[in-house]
Structure 1
Amino acid sequence: MTDAFTSRVLDVHTGSAETVHDLTGEIAAFLGDVAGGRDGLLNVFTPHATAGLAVIETGAGSDDDLLAALRDLLPADDRWRHRHGSRGHGRDHVLPAFVPPHATLPVVGGALELGTWQSVVLVDTNRDNPRRQVRLSFLG
């Protein structure tokens, strides 16, 4: 069987508040369209200097806990040298060092191989940019 590479860009509207946006359903739809039941790898990438990707549990408070932990770790105050945008925006540029802008995940039988409670999420603390892109790339 020949390996195939397919890519798609998702446009995500994150709004004007810090957010954890669940991408799992959109990823499943993408794989349903392109994986054809094959095993392979899915790379998820967001080309933004102020957003990241994570694999976490959602809906049971973990998404809010993640945002709270990031607020504690990276407060939105005047300590940051990077100062354009809203107050504390410099912390948004440090976020990808802690929540990377990429993830590579296994695909088995055409489906994302996640644990029972795991979801793939876009983490966006930048209140100044409500429009994000996420590139999904399947190799299988």
Structure 2
Amino acid sequence: MSTKQSVRRRFLGGGFVSLAIAGGLFVAFGAPTQLEDLLLLSWLAIGGLALVVAAAVERLPLGVVSVSWPRIGAVGLAVLALGSSTVGFVQLLEVSGWVGLLNAVFALGVALILAFGALECWFGGLQIDEDAFVVEA
């Protein structure tokens, strides 16, 4: 399996996991009634959907321009990073004790990893081989 196929397969898995978490939260707690709950479900669903689309299509036509799969994946990872960092900072500010601190550190660490992944996809291979981000014509 090539590096490109590996990256796209990971996008597909991560996208499905994000969508499953959003769906599970929706089923468990019902339709969101507060803005915070709506934002939580939205960033998981939008980020997961973007990753699934990046794994499924080579180019996504948007009007007169088409967006390549690495850029779509970068947007999905950036959305998930933004949401995770928001959750981390909220945990850091609202929850006291070691458990809250550990949750905040974990969420912020995940956000940092996702942000690095988004930058890697957007710029097309800074640390990962450039062949992983080739877009077929």
More strand by share: 1
More helix by share: 2
- Please give the TM-score of this superposition, normalised by the length of structure 1: 0.29
- Please give the TM-score of this superposition, normalised by the length of structure 2: 0.29
> Taking CA–CA contacts closer than 8 Å with sequence separation of 6 or more, which of the two structures ends up with the larger relative contact order?
1
